[in-house]
Structure 1
Amino acid sequence: MSDSSKIGVLLVNLGTPDEPTAKGVRRFLEQFLHDHRVVDMTRWIWCPVLHGIILPIRSPKVAKAYQSVWMDEGSPLMVYSKRQADKLAQSINLPVELGMSYGNPSLQSGITKLLDQGVEKIVVLPLYPQYSGTTTAAAFDGIAKACKSISTLPAFSMIRDYHDHPMYIKALADKVRAHWEQNGRADYLLCSYHGIPKRYADNGDVYPLHCQATTDLLRQELGLDESQMGMSYQSIFGREEWLQPYTDKTLEKMPSEGIKTIDVMTPAFSVDCLETLEEIAIEAKETFIEAGGERFSYIECLNDSDAHVAMMAELVNNA
């Protein structure tokens, strides 16, 4: 499209509760866990379990976890996502809006805001570096659903993943190097990725292949070997087997194997959120220290760093 003023960008992330209360969390989890892409169980089995057991029990617990990481401006995921959108808009001089797969602002509101600005082509950038049907494809489904009420559809260009993009790998490596320079280097660098049920991968989801590729490329960029750096999966939910090794189990055994200091980063998360700030920086640290570890250091996400925004601009320009 020749007129660049008619191009806009929709940044997509998973979403977050509007408030760190049991009611706010329940509202968010209800929408999230109803998605077939996230939980593919038969509805007549899943819905009674979700509404009768999971939501009543988990919502207050998760609300307390959110309260421990909530920022003055709101949920960390939302705060950093807004900063990303503002910086990207300034960088590429195009309209940029946020759309969350679950919660607010919705995908529909993001698309509507772009259309109201005269946008005729939307570049969709889901901020999931590694593709998964549970995240990227779920965002695609949400966009299709959001467009059902639009009479004249815009053109869409969707960036599927960027797990091996040189600028993404370099941004991660530079984040690690800066952390080492400021805090010293630990015995081991662990990349913790959000897990998915193993069955999803067995059925063709390429997510674990992407996670492995990211880890291998980052290891090469940092000049480390497999005795100095590895990967694991976190955020396990339910009783079925998920991708392994699990982050918590990995951290539990490391001190007995001679790894007393560890650096942990979360390359699958484009912004810090509950799963990084509470599950890793707080809970995982406790797990490692209680198992005999001496120092646990969390390396923050790329968030709204200049290198991250430059990478987004490159992806959008290429799309």
Structure 2
Amino acid sequence: MSKGVLLVNLGSPDSTDPKDVKKYLDEFLMDPRVIDVPFWLRSFIVRGIILNTRPKKSAEAYEKIWWPEGSPLIVLSEKLQDKIKDRTTVPVALAMRYGSLTLQKGLQELADQGVDEVLTIPLYPQFAMATTETIDVKVEQLRKKYFPQMEITSLPAFYNKPEYIDVLSKSIAEGLENVDYEHIIFSYHGVPERHIYKRDITKSHCKIDGSCCVTPSPAHEFCYRHQCLKTTELVAAKLNLKPGTYTNSFQSRLGFDPWLKPPTDRTIERMGLEGVKKLVVVTPAFVSDCLETLEEIAMEGKEIFLEAGGKEFTVIPCLNVRDDWADVLTGWIDHWRIVDVKTAIA
């Protein structure tokens, strides 16, 4: 069999035109693993409410962070793909879960090169319904319909893998050089609490009560909250961060249902109001800088902090196209090429 790799990230509108943003948001928000309610209700929420108000505002946000080459997320993902191509002998394609750089195009690119065994790499350290799972489900649908002879496996969540933690910790340490700070916020993308309960394979462990995420359980394999908290724990240990000098939070809430707490925007505000003058924010749920890091945190978060009395606000960049990050991914790919995915990141 001929092996190949498909890197997968979230996606982006084709431009900052509100029409392109609306098209993108429709595909994204109509995904039943993003807004997991019956179709009729999801359609009413998304197409009856959100898409009549949000595209213009989101387009303005994208305009603030758009690069001359295009969407930062797409540009960074393409550059990472190029670095990995230079480091491995197997074909490496790139796709997005949403937008015009589709999963079908990515799989077809590999098929055209004679690839019949694919490793998909969802570029998310932690497992979540709205990220890793929706990629895996969509890829399987496409395989059955268009690529029935193709064998596809997915790289598991790598939130706790030593080589990933090493690179993430090193990137944070470099970002903290010459930065005088009082507190670090580890801001992860938020998800509804119901997503945590839905993916509890034990059907009883997850209670989001402060103890379940630190109590050993098979549920942790698919628990986003546990995996986020564990990422912070491992990085804090690696960097010798003192207890009380860092906090976890969750950003990007949508709707009125309960989401993971505490919310990042309110945490940033609280820090300022409580007298913290020098704040650092890290975003370990993202490996590439995007709207959520460049605009929501670096711009909106900074504004919130300064208005609350803060003085210095530092955002640590994502791993983006770091050489050591490309080396880690290439190492996993080459191990899979020689052995198998189950031991690739063991």
Q: TM-score, normalised by structure 2?
A: 0.88
Equivalent residue of 1:14, what SS? strand
Identity over aligned pairs, percent: 40
1:142-181 correspondence runs (5 A): 142-150=138-146, 152-181=148-177
Q: CA deviation at 1:157?
A: 2.1
Aligned match of 1:197 in 192, 201, 221? 192
Q: Could you tell me which residue of structure 2 aligns to residue 45 of structure 1?
A: 41
- Cα-to-partner distance string for 1:232-254 (whole Å, 9 max, x where unaligned): 00000111110001101111111
Letter in 1 for 2:225: P
Q: CA deviation at 1:48?
A: 2.1
Q: Could you tell me which residue of structure 1 aligns to residue 29 of structure 2?
A: 33
Letter in 1 for 2:100: N
Distance 2:147 2:251 in 1: 42
Q: CA deviation at 1:147?
A: 1.8
What is the RMSD computed on CA atoms of the aligned residues? 1.2
Aligned match of 1:239 in 238, 253, 256? 256
Q: Could you tell me which residue of structure 2 aligns to residue 315 of structure 1?
A: 332
Q: Could you tell me which residue of structure 1 aligns to residue 287 of structure 2?
A: 270
Q: CA deviation at 1:150?
A: 2.5
Distance 2:223 2:295 in 1: 27
Distance 1:162 1:315 in 2: 10
Structure 2 residue 292 is the aligned partner of structure 1 residue 296:
no
Distance 2:190 2:297 in 1: 13
Q: CA deviation at 1:151?
A: 5.2
Letter in 2 for 1:193: Y
Further displaced range: 145-154 or 243-252: 145-154
Letter in 2 for 1:267: P
Consecutive unaligned residues of structure 2, counting only runs of 5 or more, are: 201-221, 336-340, 342-346
Q: Is the 8 A contact 2:97 2:103 kept in 1?
A: yes
Equivalent residue of 2:80, what SS? helix
Equivalent residue of 2:153, what SS? strand
Q: Could you tell me which residue of structure 2 aligns to residue 229 of structure 1?
A: 246
Aligned match of 1:185 in 174, 180, 187? 180
Distance 2:90 2:51 in 1: 40
1:11-22 correspondence runs (5 A): 11-22=7-18
1:63-82 correspondence runs (5 A): 63-82=59-78
Q: Could you tell me which residue of structure 1 aligns to residue 209 of structure 2?
A: none
Aligned match of 1:129 in 125, 128, 142? 125
Corresponding pairs, count: 314
Letter in 1 for 2:241: L
Distance 2:261 2:147 in 1: 45
Distance 1:51 1:150 in 2: 29
Structure 2 residue 203 is the aligned partner of structure 1 residue 207:
no
Distance 1:314 1:77 in 2: 23
Equivalent residue of 2:321, what SS? coil
Distance 2:117 2:197 in 1: 36
Q: Could you tell me which residue of structure 2 aligns to residue 100 of structure 1?
A: 96
Structure 2 residue 57 is the aligned partner of structure 1 residue 61:
yes
Structure 2 residue 104 is the aligned partner of structure 1 residue 87:
no
- Cα-to-partner distance string for 1:219-243 (whole Å, 9 max, x where unaligned): 0000012211121000001111100
Q: TM-score, normalised by structure 1?
A: 0.95
Which 4+ runs in 1 deviate beyond 3 A?
Answer: none
Q: Is the 8 A contact 2:275 2:310 kept in 1?
A: no
Distance 2:71 2:225 in 1: 28
Consecutive unaligned residues of structure 1, counting only runs of 5 or more, are: none
Distance 2:197 2:151 in 1: 33
Equivalent residue of 2:243, what SS? coil
Distance 1:131 1:317 in 2: 22
Distance 1:176 1:49 in 2: 38
Q: CA deviation at 1:202?
A: 2.5
